[in-house]
Structure 1
Amino acid sequence: MTEKYKALVLGASGLVGKALVNQLCQDDRYSQVTCLVRSPLSKAQYHDPLNKIQAIVIDFEELQDYQGYFSVEHVFCCLGTTIKQAGSQSNFRRVDFQFVHVAAQLTRAQRAKSFVWISSVGANAKSGNFYLKVKGELENAILSMPQLDNAAAVRPSLLLGQRTQKRTAESWGIAIMKVLSPIMFGPLAKYRPVSANQVAYQMIQLQVF
């Protein structure tokens, strides 16, 4: 009999999170998909014929209080915001660094098999760009964390997909990058826009089975 896995997803209502949860629901290796969310999920956006999804509304400011939910095999973290949505650099850092870092710590504490999260192409702790600097600092913090052996980050460029919230600057960036994509080879290939489904698929492939 094939071993069944339980997954925990943080950020299930986001662009990649939705794609990921839907893929996990179709993946025979998973028997349960627990989603920690800020507000109830819209069932219409998820295809879950086997009722694998268990959605838990939590306060991410008190994430450590939900440590028991990290007692699964695989933890996926799709949390993330923009500085515009967050309202300030400090609020952005709280979501994109603090929440994800705490999730990694809880994954270690509960001895899950592996932890995969979304970073960004160009992430670098020494970057002059605040967004990329925070992403790079987070990578350094998680990948150097003792007793968290199976941690991995996906580093997408601009994400393609249908968002619930409009991001004008990002939309322009995607349009420009789509035009340039055919000539982006070699080292430039990693900057091509990528679909949320592709990122979700990669996250699953990075988990340890």
Structure 2
Amino acid sequence: MTKLLLAGATGMVGTAALARLLADARVTQVVAPTRRALAPHAKLLNPITTIADLPHHADWWAVDGAICALGTTRAQTPDPSAYRRIDHDYPLTIATLVRKHGATRFALVSSAGADARSRFAYTRLKGELEDAIGSLDFPSLTIARPGMLGGERSEHRSMEKNLLTLLRLAAPILPASARINPASTVADLLVEAALNGAPGRHVITTAQIARAADTRG
């Protein structure tokens, strides 16, 4: 039986991951720190805190594994320093704390093209985060690199909505690496990695996510 921490439980991938974790008989407890209270559940421990004010010595950091689905967009967070804190510093802090308290498995939502040497700021930042978490020596580290995520968003993004519509229409003729990655599929893969991740560092590519979505119908 397993205790897991979920960071980013109110986002698109995080919401799907939370539902799966709470329904999974292998999971005894889900620790999901959030700013606002989540719907109560017998298996849910929901510390109310901001990421910036995380209590570093709380006993709930002692988990078997963790999923990090934190992230923002330039539109939501235009300030570069604030953007880096949310997309790099906070996920690294969470990974550091759960590792310090004994976690052996970590599953991260990154991005297609993540590379610390990328000339693009977004993918470079994601690559830097991957490398930093990799240096923590989790016995099992799984990194999902989705492309365009599909699913219900809490905020309205008209341009992105139009692009998603076009990608759905073109899906039959697109290679797997260019298709929409359903947030629910990303969540499924990360949940399984957090529960049963194989030893070593594993990257789940955009194409692999798309193929997994196909097998799930």
**TM-score category by the smaller chain?**
0.7 to 0.9
Retained in 2: the 8 A contact 1:64–1:102?
no
Aligned to 1:206: 193
Cα distance in 2 for partners of 1:127, 1:58 equals 33
Cα distance in 2 for partners of 1:144, 1:208 equals 21
Decide which of 7, 10, 14 is 2:11's aligned counterpart: 14
Decide which of 57, 68, 81 is 2:72's aligned counterpart: 81
Retained in 1: the 8 A contact 2:56–2:97?
no
What residue ranges of structure 2 are gaps of 5+ in the alignment?
197-217
Cα distance in 2 for partners of 1:67, 1:166 equals 35
Secondary structure at the aligned position of 1:83 is classed as coil
Aligned to 1:166: 156
Query: Per-residue displacement from partner, 1:54-111 (whole Å, max 9, x unpaired)?
Result: 2111121133525532201121111100011012122111001000011111121011
Cα distance in 2 for partners of 1:142, 1:125 equals 12
Query: Per-residue displacement from partner, 1:88-146 (whole Å, max 9, x unpaired)?
Result: 1221110010000111111210111211110011112222222111111111111133x
Deviation, 1:207, is 2.4
What residue ranges of structure 1 are gaps of 5+ in the alignment?
none
Aligned to 2:180: 193
Query: Per-residue displacement from partner, 1:9-57 (whole Å, max 9, x unpaired)?
Result: 111011111100100111110011111112222x2xx8x5xx2112111
Decide which of 2, 5, 11 is 2:2's aligned counterpart: 5
Cα distance in 2 for partners of 1:88, 1:179 equals 34
Cα distance in 2 for partners of 1:66, 1:10 equals 17
Going from structure 1 to structure 2, the CA distance change for 1:74 and 1:110 (only over 3 Å counts) comes to same
Cα distance in 2 for partners of 1:135, 1:169 equals 23
Aligned to 1:100: 91
| Counterpart amino acid of residue 192 in structure 2 | Q
Query: Per-residue displacement from partner, 1:165-199 (whole Å, max 9, x unpaired)?
Result: 112232122123223322222xxx22311111101
Secondary structure at the aligned position of 1:33 is classed as strand
Aligned to 2:54: 63
Retained in 1: the 8 A contact 2:2–2:195?
no
Decide which of 24, 27, 32 is 1:27's aligned counterpart: 24
Retained in 2: the 8 A contact 1:113–1:208?
no
Aligned to 1:116: 107
Aligned to 2:170: 180
| Counterpart amino acid of residue 171 in structure 1 | K
Cα distance in 2 for partners of 1:5, 1:125 equals 33
Going from structure 1 to structure 2, the CA distance change for 1:66 and 1:164 (only over 3 Å counts) comes to farther
Secondary structure at the aligned position of 1:8 is classed as strand
Cα distance in 1 for partners of 2:184, 2:148 equals 13
| Counterpart amino acid of residue 183 in structure 2 | A
